[in-house]
Chain A
Amino acid sequence: MNRESEVYGRIKSLSKMVVNGDVDPLNIDISTLVELFSKIDVERLPMELFMEDVDALNGLSLVLHYQKETIKRYLEGLKIDEMLVKTAILSLDIEALASIVNRLYRPPIDVSSIDNEYILESLLHFKNIERLRFEFTDKPVEIGSVDVPVEEDIRREMEAFHRRVLEESGGEWVRYEDLLGDKPILNSYLISLLASEGYFIIKVDRMSGDIFVKALAERREFVNPVSIPIVVSRGGYGEED
């Protein structure tokens, strides 16, 4: 192996170690590498070494990049000594480790709003989701979209549902689950829409978690109306649906 190839090999392997996190980039004396690099007469290099020269130059720039990043993290207070961290982890018990996260936790303030327009948008979105069924062959079989009426029918559906619940319940409290019937998706939307518009009132028994719904004969104007959210995504903002 000639001298140039050896220098290139050394630089490339060092840069690889830096990228993999096996070496602290600040432990690398970049000036020595640059000096070695600059002594090579590129114009007299054979073609195969020329490509190695390009690779090594790229490796050198990567080392410089990681050196810059590390210094930046030190300055921002983000870089912590690895030994200190490992010692701390081994010394602390679960409660102490958990309390570190709890002390660091400062949740962003986030106002989520929901209205009838949003609920209808969700309904349209849900309506347009193609349902697939996987058979034994693992081949997906299309079984059509969800049978839920969309915007032009929803007002009629709401009126019919309100009338039916009012008649059947006689204006008394009814369990939410009992109202869902054989069309739980459609009926849950209708309950939410009717409650948002003041035709239904909803109460939650905090002890048992049971939800009750009462149909009102007349629409009620609420002083402080509360939106009834339909949970489409159950996770936080980062979670997959």
Chain B
Amino acid sequence: MERKIKRAAYLLLVRRHNYPGVREWELEKYLGRNYMEVLDKLGDILSKIGLEIKVVNIREGDREIKHFIVVPERRVREEVGGSIFRSDEAAVLAIAVSLIISSENMRVPRGEIIELAKTKLPEYRVERALNKFLRLKYLVEDGEYIKLGLRSYLELDIDMLFQQFTSSLRGVETVSHGEDQEES
């Protein structure tokens, strides 16, 4: 088991493809069918240094593939904070990702993202940010539509988006109620 845990750590932490992490079939190949048991044990070790194993479902054609990566625990990440994007770029990514998630087929016309983002930023900055995220593969183009790219699935906790939006909106409501009271 110890050897398998070491092998699992290597597979998960040392990049062997263009993307970090490991696919389910690779874990089966190198760790055997009981790979989840090995991952549980490795997860216990990683949790001692604030890391955890995250499973991401990635759609490839008609198939859905489980992809395993190691990420910092949410609490640790929040405590350390920091941002890798400029605010205006991050805002465009937030708009694009949320529109895609709320769309019927997980894809949105490029023009729709630009129209909405234009209410916040000049069009040239929106275009520049969109092109950057397409280049970095956070987003991918599908004809005139834009879909989520592999990096969005791997690096963003998309399942938390709904919670983040509702909590942000609650913040707005609180502020606006406060202002109303002051005016009256």
Contacts and interface: CB of A to CB of B under 8 A. Distances in A.
Interface of A: 18-25, 66, 69-70, 73, 76-82, 84-113, 235-240
A103 B77 CA distance: 8
Nearest to B9: A111
B161 A100 contact: yes
A21 B102 CA distance: 11
Given A77-B159, A101-B85, A86 B116 contact: yes
Interface string B130-156: 000001111000000000011100111
B161 A108 contact: no
Interface of B: 13-15, 18-21, 51, 54, 57, 69-72, 74, 77-78, 81-85, 87-91, 93-95, 97-99, 101-108, 116, 119-121, 135-138, 149-151, 154-162, 164-166, 168-169, 171-172
B84 A111 contact: no
B84 A81 contact: no
Nearest to A93: B120
Given A21-B104, A85-B98, A110-B13, A239 B136 contact: yes
Contact of B105 (A21, A78, A235): A21
B52 to A, nearest CB: 9
Contacts of B149: 238
A86 B115 CA distance: 11
Contact of B157 (A18, A76, A106): A106
Contacts of A238: 18-19, 136-138, 149-151
26 contacts: A18-B105, A21-B108, A23-B104, A66-B104, A66-B105, A78-B101, A82-B103, A84-B169, A86-B99, A86-B102, A86-B116, A87-B169, A91-B172, A92-B172, A98-B90, A99-B90, A104-B156, A104-B160, A107-B155, A108-B71, A109-B20, A109-B51, A109-B71, A111-B15, A113-B14, A239-B135
